[in-house]
Amino acid sequence: MPLADLPDHVSPFAHVPGTSEYDGGAHLFRAPATPEVVLRPRTTEEVAAAVRACTSAGLRIQVRSGGHGSAPCPDGALIDLSGLDGVTVAGSTAEIGVGAVWAEVAAALAPHGLVVTSGDTGSVGVGGLVLGGGIGWLVRTHGLTIDSLRGIELVTADGRIRMVDAQDDPELFWALRGGGGNFGVVTRIWIEAAPAPDLVRVELGYEPSATRSLMEAWWQVMAEAPDTVNSTLAVMPDISPQFPAGGLVDLVLDGTVGEAREVVAPLLAVEGLRSERIESCHYSDLLGPTPPEDIPVTFVGGNRVLPDLTSEALDQLAALAAGQAPTMLLLRGLGGAFGRVRAEETAFAHRDARVLAVANALLPADAPEEAIAAAREAQAGVFGHAGIYGNFSLDRGPDVTAAMYPPTTLERLRAVKERVDPDGIFAAAHALY
Ligand SMILES: Cc1cc2nc3c(=O)[nH]c(=O)nc-3n(C[C@H](O)[C@H](O)[C@H](O)COP(=O)(O)OP(=O)(O)OC[C@H]3O[C@@H](n4cnc5c(N)ncnc54)[C@H](O)[C@@H]3O)c2cc1C
């Protein structure tokens, strides 16, 4: 799009290919981005001007907050919100610009003795994570990130700046809590923070031979744990000396080291335990660094939210981890506060899930189609048709969207989309089809 076609008040923050401003705004985590123009507004008013300029130019809009959504952006306009990144705290409410990343939010809240549950990685953006749900270290204690949301500022397709909450346009507020970037450009959010817990972190490493019994013991612990206990279990394949093959339990608990030892006793008893670390930590210590982007592998996989880990499911997962394609598994305990929100209260509706299971086969970058298809088939056999958490899904398309939302939720989301974006100018990471 020629810059000359843009209104004068938009061109100062519009950037075309070949400039460092374009490259900075178009950087997406492990995804190609070649939009015609990158718009980098610094205020909500500039976002509104950008949206109006794109609609008059007939450009579809993709939105970038932290750029970790890995949704390719082949054309149209990309609105990069990294300039809208302020975090302020008043009482227990945090006002957050969506261009902030979650490590910044945790750092701003810490001096106030407050936390907001987000994800496990500090560099993930506020915008994308919060619109999809937000499954993080305190999910069983405080629910999804959207469960603490109190208000949202956004610019809709008509260029209007709107404030929505439980009183003002509750249906749009509902849709924005799990419905992704389908409804406009979200610029600011207000979120209710919670008192910072006294956390103890337990990290336990296991030999690969322990995988099946480890998964069973982990599920036994998590199925009975109080809401103050949160945990993941990762099973790594043998791919590099940097990441040794085997199981890794990461568990955090609001309590003392002694209480943590009691909770993990069944895990300490699993044969094949090779490392153990139990120590106090702060919430912000839990938000890890960005994984390297340039790993030369093709990730083939996805996730499912499951109501239970039956013995049969555990057998299947263990077989997947030991299968032909080197496969990384990640299980995260849900339930607790996450499960006490009714399915119809937010657009993320899979509230009966008690575990999130992620499987990724790590195939060579030039893996043949047959190898990719075989990995997909092996995973489909394990996961069946359970629900999908969209934020963790690299796959897109009608089948993925249908697994993200039960039919009644999808119908409601489409009705809101039709009202606020009738011409479909927003190209969200997961369309509503
Ligand atoms: C290394 C890594 C770790 C992760 N860990 C977790 C985790 O622990 N828990 C978890 O829940 N998720 C996690 N995720 C997934 C993450 O929540 C999603 O990828 C999310 O979309 C990233 O948000 P972002 O703002 O960085 O991404 P972006 O790429 O900027 O956005 C992703 C999509 O969200 C929409 N969007 C973003 N911002 C806006 C906005 N302001 N207005 C309207 N639409 C918008 C757009 O459709 C966009 O394509 C992780 C992802 C990565 C890469």
- The finding on whether 121 has its CB within 6 A of some atom of ligand 1 is yes
CA of 286 to the centre of ligand 1 (A): 18
- The finding on whether 128 has its CB within 6 A of some atom of ligand 1 is yes
Q: Residue 382's domain spans which residues?
A: 199-398
Average pLDDT over the chain reads 95
Q: Taking residues 382-396, what's their average pLDDT?
A: 92
The pLDDT tens digits of the residues spanning 54-108 come to: 999 999 999 999 999 989 999 999 999 999 999 999 999 999 999 999 999 999 9
The domain total for the chain is: 3
CATH for 378: 3.40.462.20
Distance CA(334)–CA(141), nearest Å, equals 10
With tokens 């407050």, the residue in question is 114
Pocket perturbation via mutation, ligand 1, pick of 38, 60, 96, 131 by most ligand atoms within 8 A of CB: 131
Distance CA(402)–CA(393), nearest Å, equals 13
- The finding on whether 64 has its CB within 6 A of some atom of ligand 1 is yes
CATH for 151: 3.30.465.10
pLDDT surpasses 80 at 392: yes
- 327 half-sphere exposure, CB direction, 13 A CA radius: 29
Distance CA(350)–CA(238), nearest Å, equals 33
The pLDDT tens digits of the residues spanning 132-167 come to: 999 999 999 999 999 999 999 999 999 999 999 999
Q: Taking residues 323-350, what's their average pLDDT?
A: 96
User: Within this chain, do residues 93 and 140 fall inside the same structural domain, yes or no?
Assistant: yes
- The finding on whether 186 has its CB within 6 A of some atom of ligand 1 is yes
Distance CA(118)–CA(416), nearest Å, equals 26
Question: Does a structural domain hold residue 354?
Answer: yes
Pocket perturbation via mutation, ligand 1, pick of 29, 96, 129 by most ligand atoms within 8 A of CB: 129
| Residues 6 or more apart in contact with residue 170 via CB below 8 angstroms | 164
User: Within this chain, do residues 213 and 344 fall inside the same structural domain, yes or no?
Assistant: yes
CA of 299 to the centre of ligand 1 (A): 17
Q: Taking residues 355-362, what's their average pLDDT?
A: 95
| Residues 6 or more apart in contact with residue 81 via CB below 8 angstroms | 41, 47, 63, 64, 65, 97, 98, 99, 127, 185, 187
User: Within this chain, do residues 67 and 95 fall inside the same structural domain, yes or no?
Assistant: no
CA of 68 to the centre of ligand 1 (A): 5
pLDDT surpasses 70 at 12: yes
User: Within this chain, do residues 234 and 328 fall inside the same structural domain, yes or no?
Assistant: yes
Residue 4's pLDDT is 64
Atom in ligand 1 nearest the alpha carbon of residue 30: 53
Pocket perturbation via mutation, ligand 1, pick of 43, 118, 124 by most ligand atoms within 8 A of CB: 124
User: Within this chain, do residues 207 and 141 fall inside the same structural domain, yes or no?
Assistant: no
Examine the fold and report which residue of 58, 80, 102 is the final residue of a domain before the chain moves on: 80
CATH for 39: 3.30.43.10
Question: Does a structural domain hold residue 425?
Answer: no
User: Within this chain, do residues 263 and 368 fall inside the same structural domain, yes or no?
Assistant: yes
User: Within this chain, do residues 383 and 257 fall inside the same structural domain, yes or no?
Assistant: yes
Question: Does a structural domain hold residue 210?
Answer: yes
Residue 382's pLDDT is 85
User: Within this chain, do residues 24 and 36 fall inside the same structural domain, yes or no?
Assistant: yes
- The finding on whether 67 has its CB within 6 A of some atom of ligand 1 is yes
CA of 185 to the centre of ligand 1 (A): 14
Residue 49's pLDDT is 97
CA of 303 to the centre of ligand 1 (A): 15
User: Within this chain, do residues 311 and 204 fall inside the same structural domain, yes or no?
Assistant: yes
Examine the fold and report which residue of 63, 80, 97 is the final residue of a domain before the chain moves on: 80
The pLDDT tens digits of the residues spanning 166-215 come to: 999 999 999 999 999 999 999 999 999 999 999 999 999 999 999 999 99
1 pLDDT band, cuts 50/70/90, is low
pLDDT surpasses 80 at 241: no
Strands (E) located in 47-112: 61-64, 77-80, 87-90, 93-97
